[in-house]
Amino acid sequence: MAIQTIGIVGAGQMGNGIAHVCALAGYEVTLTDVSQDALDRARATISRNIDRQVERGKVEPADRDAAMSRVGSTLTLTDLGQSDLIIEAATERESVKQAIFEDLVPHLKRETILTSNTSSISITRLASRTDRPEKFMGFHFMNPVPVMQLVELIRGIATDDETFDACKSVVDRLGKQAATAEDFPAFIVNRILMPMINEAVYTLYEGVGTVRSIDMSMKLGANHPMGPLALADFIGLDTCLAIMNVLHDGLADTKYRPCPLLTKYVEAGWLGRKTKRGFYDYRGEGDPVPTR
């Protein structure tokens, strides 16, 4: 099927980034969230980020205006029912995602494709709670969406070829690259990335290095653009912990046991950049200061 309209559930960091790239690619986008403030912030963020692209000569002013005109919003989840493609980008909790799909299903067109931007949860299991497992798949964007070139496409056990091809065509139109992943916990990127971040937290927890020395070592010693602890703060420590729990529960291997220090930070509400404190404290005017 030819996809022209895209509904996006969740107006947070991932949702507004997905809306941004889809609108620039010519899709009509409807963004939904439970909070009007979140929708307003998302629109302001999209506008600001496209303006930055215009300043850098990557987007023409006319294309910016056209893209912004294609971004709509609603507080009513079921308004997305007539979309050709729905991308769920809500919080990384399976119960939340299941509730969203159960609410949506009675209002969908017969041909609507359902997808989840989940970074770790079973696509097959999410699909089983809908009326269209053959038209359901994982559509995992990387953060920040406008910058990162990869999209993981994950087929559930029932996903049909037509659905995969339609989603692959969207990735192509966005100018991004698709990596096909099998439906196993955390797929490809997070199956490799999150244990590395978790090991960096263990390295801090066991006193092998400080926050600064660990991040400096990986930046200068492994040529990573960002240290693992700074990256964890950028992703969100709650998201990192959720993915490690999925890996640990799904693969039953002790090497995926979340570091107790990661759990402690999440319990404290120190989730990284979004709460102004994580492995670094972002509340000051200057450079972030390590919290350990």
Positions at the binding site for NAD(+): 10-15, 33, 92, 97, 119, 143, 274
Write down the catalytic residue from 49, 116, 152, 198: 152
H-helix or E-strand spanning residue 113: strand 113-116
Write down the catalytic residue from 16, 83, 116, 190: 190
| Residue numbering of the annotated binding site | 10-15, 33, 92, 97, 119, 143, 274
Let me know if 122 is a catalytic residue: no
Let me know if 199 is a catalytic residue: no
Write down the catalytic residue from 16, 83, 119, 122: 119
Contact, 188 vs 182, CB < 8 A?
Answer: no
Write down the catalytic residue from 73, 116, 140, 198: 140
DSSP-derived pairing of the beta strands 85-88 and 5-9:
parallel
Q: Which residues, including other chains, have CB under 8 Å from residue 8's CB and lie 6 or more apart?
A: 15, 18, 19, 22, 29, 30, 31, 32, 86, 87, 89
> What is the rounded distance in angstroms from the CA atom of residue 223 to the CA atom of residue 48?
30
End-to-end CA distance of the chain: 52
Let me know if 16 is a catalytic residue: no
Structure tokens at 9: 């559930």
Q: What is the DSSP string of 121-153?
A: S-HHHHHTTSS-GGGEEEEEE-SSTTT--EEEE
Structure tokens at 111: 């041909």
Let me know if 190 is a catalytic residue: yes
Catalytic residues: 119, 140, 152, 190
